[in-house]
Amino acid sequence: QVQLVESGGGMVQPGRSLRLSCAASGFTFTTYSMHWVRQAPGKGLEWVALILSDGSSEYYADSVKGRFTISRDTSNNTLFLQMDSLRGADTAVYYCARDLHNNFFDHWGQGTLVIVSS
Amino acid sequence: SSVLTQSPSVSVAPGQTARITCVGQNIGSKNVHWYQQRPGQAPLLVIYDDVDRPSGIPERISGSNSGNTATLSISRVEAEDEADYYCQVWDSSGDPVVFGGGTKLTVL
């Protein structure tokens, strides 16, 4: 069955970097676009970034553009989110999600918590 | 880009029907998807493409979309339906993915 397992979260100081990973299994990773979606404590869902199935294009929310980089390793079926210049407002649970038909998310990981604080 | 507006909260007694709305300009021209998020859990897709249910989602959960309003309906509400519900569309301008602010469904 489809599984998405995030890792790499933790507490980090403002201005520092963190790299999140999402290990995918149970499906052909290279045929799906993938996303990162985050949720600040007590808040709603916020889309963060998208990478197309072939890795040819990436898209970012304005709130993270220029600071975050989404990438994928097809040999290891892993999705990444490199987060630089972190801010307090980036504190959230980060979910990876599989995209079906560039339309909706049919599978989500369990999430990994990132806390940006001094 | 699209802006999707949801009421913050809806309350309903067990056995009744809950209706959760998602308002957006001409949302009827887009495919709307709905997610259920129970406390401490990841979101779960419950309705896609306005009206379709993924396997395993009960028939009590249904969707509709017309004009400026999409609606998620849950009939014969049970305690397990208590959760936050989010609508979502794919947008061709601005950010490709837009979520509504979410609605907390409380079962009285």
Please report the DSSP string for B39-90 in residue order: TTS--EEEEBTTTB--TTS-TTEEEEEETTEEEEEE-S--GGG-EEEEEEEE
Select from A35, A45, A50, A68 the residue whose CB has the most chain B CBs within 10 Å, as the one to mutate to test that interface: A45
Residue closest to A81 by CA, chosen among A4, A2, A3, A7: A7
**Residue B43 C-alpha, separation from nearest chain A C-alpha, in angstroms:** 7
Band (pLDDT 50/70/90 cuts) for residue A80 is very high
Give the pLDDT confidence score for residue A115 in this predicted structure. 98
* B65-108 pLDDT, tens digit each: 999 999 999 999 999 999 999 999 998 888 899 999 999 999 99
User: Which DSSP helix (H) or strand (E) runs through A95?
Assistant: strand A92-100
Q: Do B35 and A95 touch (CB under 8 A)?
A: no
pLDDT at A13 over 90: yes
Residue A9 has pLDDT above 90, yes or no: yes
Query: Which of B78, B80, B97, B77 has its CA nearest to residue B88?
Result: B97
- B43 interfaces chain A, CB cutoff of 8 Å: yes
Residues of chain B with C-beta less than 8 angstroms from the C-beta of A38: none
**Two tokens, residue B76:** 């014969």
Average pLDDT over residues A39-50: 97
Nearest to B96 among A59, A100, A111 (CB): A59
Task: Quote the CA–CA distance of B25 and B3 in Å, as a whole number.
Answer: 8
What one-character DSSP code corresponds to residue A15?
A: T
Q: Do B96 and A110 touch (CB under 8 A)?
A: no
Predicted pLDDT at B95: 87
Give Dmax over CA atoms of chain A in angstroms.
41
* Mean model confidence pLDDT for chain A: 96
- Considering CB atoms only, which of B35, B48, B97 is closest to A47? B97
The answer to whether B45 faces chain A, any CB pair under 8 Å, is yes
Residue B5 contacts residue A66 (beta carbons within 8 Å): no
Q: Which residue of B has its CA nearest to A34?
A: B97
B4-61 pLDDT per residue, tens: 999 999 999 999 999 999 999 999 999 999 999 999 999 999 999 999 999 999 999 9
Is B57 at the interface with chain A, CB within 8 A? no
Closest residue in B to A43 (Cα) is B101
Residue B74 in contact with residue B57, Cβ under 8 Å? no
Pair B33, B44: CB distance under 8 Å: no
B58 touches A: beta carbon within 8 Å: no
Chain A partners within 8 Å of B97 (Cβ):
35, 37, 47, 50
By DSSP bridging, strand B5-6 and strand A68-73 are unpaired
